[in-house]
Chain A
């Protein structure tokens, strides 16, 4: 009773601004969203592999939280066992450890059985930065998009990450949600119409198309489009937040309506978004494609995420330069 009185007397908290609401890393937004969803849906299980922080967030939902420790194979295998019995497990680990270390469990136990396991994978791409190459995940998309049934989502900011997590919760099959590590600038200043398998058009243009996935690549593509616009080149920007199933229609429209495609990703140039786009374009409708991503070699460069991306040649300047080549504009 006393508490109620205090609550009534407290001044109403001011509505947080859009920026305040989506401040912080995408992975934090996803965790909070998951905890909210879990309160409404008792089938949801947060399955942790000692990633840190989840134990606190789920402290008041002990029956919906299980920590398997640093054991990724068991993380995915147990999640599959739970999903087959009617629970909706969200398995948390780092992207590289999920895609490479627990790849077989994802293949055989999760995707192979089309079970509703949601894998929440942080530290995607080069977002682990100075941690070094053991913690980089620049092959995760390539590995996982090979697996039938598995939906692969790569949201570009915290707004999309929240929408992607909600979409994943309702999705009938398995989902891999690739998130970064640190906070990245917002791509969206308002609600987003996030639909699995539907690319988001961030800018219109008919001269060239920039297709990007992941937070920095999407921001860089948009910046490159602004540079090109000032030069009179109309660049369409597609945010390909779903790698699988790929929005082939959007890719083919870009191939037919613009002079070429530049793909941008924080992943190896082989096998990821660039590879997926090339497969569609080569098979179903030709246009030149230039791929920007991490070169096909191991790197031991030490640096933060943006430094590593720059070193890999993933920059707005390079995107603009490749786009100019495709439009025949003077470089």
Chain B
């Protein structure tokens, strides 16, 4: 064995091993190649066994070449391994692909009732103006539901509220949330900003626009300087919050025995925008609530001095607001609880 032969064998191994690394079909072949070439019993070791036969001065030269070949083979193996493992990962990912266009696993969806949600949204708007929520009983007495609201027995204004009477002495189902005004005044001193949502009842044949059970939200604000102008400003804000900032409003005289002056509050028809359509009885406007300055007699019944304090009250039908917001035309749907209807709401 001479130096030339050894050198030639090493160069041949370099050429063969790097070519084999480049041609390896997979990482397993590379592993085998590594063992076969660089392992303890591999080709490189086998060639170097012949080094002992060389003259001492040639040995370092062969050692240097051998190290160079080892580095070249390792580099070739490394490069091939990186290339092959990237390809293998790509192959795995390809194999794992699914049809991502199929629908997902269904999750049962619930929803909140539009009347309850509308009442909550109304309360949220007024909460911004400091109104806090109170609730009163649904079984009321004539005194609180009517007389303390300036509606004496046999008053013609009683025609405005067809009443369901109960088989309990003098009790009835509240026809409106207004008796809550009295209850709040009996409990709080001004400044008062109260909001009273709740279920009401009337002796009313049920049709698309009338219900015998329905929900109202009542508001009451009493302080030393609370004026009709404050009421107008607040209702404007409310209308804009619920129906859009550009929705025109109309403030006009109304009538309730428990307010003086009394107000009817309209918004421009949400269907025709004032063009006059059947939905607004061809007036271009839709009434959304009634209001007014609390009648001095009602303040007196509430134990509040009308010479010092004054305030306003308003009341609205939640169904009415919900109808206009959600374009519901038949309010019977709210209590029919057909899930096909309710499913449309959040």
A and B pair up: no
